[in-house]
């Protein structure tokens, strides 16, 4: 029995797009592996370049609604493929226990889904980007909720913008010494303070997730936070992009089952 007419294979080229508050990340998957990836700062986005790789499908995860349709149109123009929008066209198959589920960022739910699929539940996901989010998945693979605190660069910018005399400080590894000049005081305070906050929030959330909880880290600043955190954080900087592929894989398998069932009905 052949299902080739379904035209479904995990070797299809998938273009995964993560539209975040700072960057738009692109990755091309083949057979579950990223074969090409690139980032564009959100403020510098002018369109998507012509792709040499033929794309079969495209999925977008976005937390910036005002640019989602523009990116979607640009992708369709460049590749001939109309992207699907996650949580609009494809739902994330993870029970969401947020009091108002529609308020939860798609990126947080998708990271939680990816962590539960790749590392198994229970899990805590620490994402360090424009904001630092800490999210929990129960042993029953339910999204429980989490915490949000300012990201490292957001904190540095806030200190400069909201004070008269504090300088703008570029993010860099901190020292564990007491700061003896204003720049070191700010940098050490933000970096070490954020790492300490992450550790404390992980401890608080662990009471809900229980023993054997995996701690998964992602986001642009996660390696810096891991250096100063006292927790055993497993870093997966492509966690969200991998989550997009896992959703795509699930859709393919569901469509393949539908094709099989339809064929069996006809025979």
Q: Active-site residue 258, yes or no? A: no
Give the DSSP letter string of 53-77.
Answer: SPPSEEEEEES-HHHHHHHHHHHHH
- Return the ∠ at Cα 90 (arms to 129 and 233), rounded to 5°: 30
Buried/exposed 161-197: b ≥16 CB within 10 Å, e otherwise: eeeeebeebebeebeeeeeeeeeeebbbbbbeebbeb
User: Which token pair is 8?
Assistant: 């479904």
Per-residue DSSP letter, 102: G
Residue 248: CA count within 13 A, CB half-sphere: 31
3-class SS of residue 65: helix
Catalytic-labelled residue, pool 107, 184, 199, 261: 107
**Residue 108 corresponds to which tokens in the numbers above?**
């947080």
- Catalytically active residues are 107
């Amino acid at each position: 029995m052949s299902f080739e007419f379904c035209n479904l294979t995990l070797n299809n080229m998938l273009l995964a797009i993560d539209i975040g508050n700072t960057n738009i990340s692109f990755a091309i998957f083949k057979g579950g592996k990223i074969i090409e990836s690139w980032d564009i700062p959100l403020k510098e986005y002018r369109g998507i370049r012509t792709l040499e790789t033929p794309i079969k499908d495209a999925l977008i995860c976005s937390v910036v609604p005002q640019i989602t349709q523009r990116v979607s149109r640009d992708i369709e123009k460049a590749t001939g493929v109309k992207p699907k929008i996650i949580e609009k066209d494809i739902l994330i198959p993870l029970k969401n226990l947020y009091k108002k589920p529609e308020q939860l960022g798609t990126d947080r739910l998708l990271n939680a889904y990816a962590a539960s699929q790749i590392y198994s539940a229970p899990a805590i996901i620490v994402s360090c980007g424009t904001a630092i989010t800490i999210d929990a998945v129960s042993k029953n693979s339910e999204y429980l909720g989490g915490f949000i605190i300012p990201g490292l660069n957001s904190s540095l910018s806030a200190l400069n913008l909201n004070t008269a005399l504090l300088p703008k400080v570029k993010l860099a590894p901190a020292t564990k010494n007491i700061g003896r000049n204003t720049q070191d005081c700010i940098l050490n305070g933000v970096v070490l303070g954020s790492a300490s906050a992450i550790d404390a929030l992980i401890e608080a959330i662990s009471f809900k997730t229980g023993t054997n909880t995996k701690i998964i880290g992602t986001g642009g600043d996660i390696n810096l936070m891991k250096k100063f955190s006292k927790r055993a954080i497993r870093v997966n900087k492509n966690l969200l992009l991998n989550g997009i592929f896992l959703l795509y894989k699930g859709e393919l398998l569901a469509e393949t089952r539908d094709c099989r069932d339809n064929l069996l009905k006809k025979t």
